[in-house]
Amino acid sequence: MKKMTGKISTKKRNYLSFMFVPHNNSGVRTIRINNYRTTLLSLTAVMLVALLILTGYTLSVVKENRTLKAQHNQELEFILAQKAELEDYIANQTSELIENAELISAANTTKTISEQALNQYKNEYEDMVVAYVDSNMGTIKSVSRGSSQETSFKESLKELRSLIQLVESAKLSEDDTNNKIHQKKNELTNFLNALPTYWPVDNSTAIHSDFGRRYHPIYKYYRSHDGIDIGSKAYPKIYAAGNGKVVEAGRTSGYGNYVVIDHRNGFKTVYAHLSSYNVKIGEWVEKGQEIAKMGNTGTSTGTHLHFEIQINGVPTDPKKYLEKR
């Protein structure tokens, strides 16, 4: 066998091989590419891949920008729509505020006019009621002091109570304690309470000795009796005949223990022959308040109350003023 002679190159050649493996039973096919071709193809492939990646990224960025722009436009439209609604709301509220301000101004003006008219009406009404009361009170006060027919005093008391009821019903407001009608009611009530009309003893209404000239049971001659003798030792409590101030409280030989109350308007009451009294000079008492105990002190023949009513210092018949209970 002839030997092969010649130089054997030891330089290795670089190849790029692509293998195709089919799914059937056929053989594997291999494509081999030389070195320079391999480099060129590799660079081309890398550039193509990079270009594809850059293109894909660029397309995705463009798509995302379009999406964001569309969303931005939608949000901008929504904001502009809300702005328009808010402007309309502000405009409506401003218009309502202007209308309300005008209504409030008109209402305040109307209220001021109404209050002025109401105050004028109240003043005229109060003046009318007070004038009516005063015109009737002149007669009542005249009768109460005995300067008219004293027999009409009890009727005048009824008129006085009617006047108080009239004034009470004429009060324009329960809370208005400063109006003329309220003040007139207090004046009438105080005047009525100060009149000595309260029967000063309990249950005993019998008069044992009347007002006027009488035969004195101790002195045994006729003399003026300035009051009435009433009461019974079974009911010893003595009460004030009207509101007033205690001006005397002490003891004399004739009255024994006694109390004098000034009821103003010229009236005074005297309570005599007391066993004791529980008030002092300067003290204010109310109608019906207990002031003493019935007794038999001084010039007296038995337990009783000597009761007097004086008008401007002049004794008058108490029966014309007292109302039996």
pLDDT tens digit string along 191-215? 999 999 999 999 888 898 899 876 6
Query: Is residue 196 within 8 Å of 269, Cβ to Cβ?
Result: yes
| pLDDT value of position 116 | 72
Most confident of 16-20, 88-92, 214-218: 88-92
Determine, yes or no, domain membership for 154: yes
Number of domains composing the chain: 2
The pLDDT assigned to 6 comes to 46
pLDDT value at 149 more than 80: no
Predicted pLDDT at 228: 94
Residue 242, domain member (yes or no): yes
Q: Can you list the positions of beta strands (E) in 87-199?
A: none
Residues of the domain holding 174: 125-194
Does residue 29 lie in a domain region? Answer: no
One domain, residues 308 and 225: yes
Give the separation between CA 318 and CA 263, rounded to whole angstroms: 14
Are residue 264 and residue 294 in the same domain, yes or no? Answer: yes
64 occurs within a structural domain: no
> Do 171 and 273 lie in a common domain?
no
Say if residue 289 is in the same domain as residue 185: no
Position 37 scores a pLDDT of 64
Long-range CB contacts (< 8 A, 24+ apart) of 3-10? none
Query: Do 252 and 219 reside in the same domain of the chain?
Result: yes
In a domain, 295, yes or no: yes
Q: How many residues does the chain have?
A: 325
* Tokens describing residue 316: 């008058």
Per the CB < 8 A criterion, the answer to whether 272 and 234 are in contact is: no
Backbone angles phi, psi at 297, to 5 degrees: -90, 160
CATH of the domain at 232: 2.70.70.10
Q: Would you state the pLDDT for residue 220?
A: 66
Residue the block writes with tokens 């089919």: 22
Angle at 231 between CA 228 and CA 233, to 5 degrees: 145
91: in domain: no
Q: In this structure, are 316 and 217 located in the same domain?
A: yes
Query: How many helices (H) does the chain have, and how many strands (E)?
Result: 3, 14
Residue 13 lies in a domain: no
Domain presence at residue 43: no
Where is 184: in which H helix or E strand? helix 180-194
Tokens linked to 4: 């092969």
3 state DSSP class of 199: coil
Do residues 277 and 186 share a domain?
no
Domain stop point among 161, 194, 227: 194
Do 131 and 185 fall into the same domain? yes
Residues 161 and 232 in one domain: no
Helix (H) or strand (E) holding 258: strand 256-264
Give the phi and the psi of residue 52 in degrees, each rounded to 5.
Answer: -65, -45
Q: Looking at the structure, do residues 190 and 211 belong to the same domain, yes or no? A: no
291 and 227 together in one domain: yes
Same domain, 251 and 283: yes
Report the range of poorest mean pLDDT among 88-97, 99-108, 296-305. 99-108
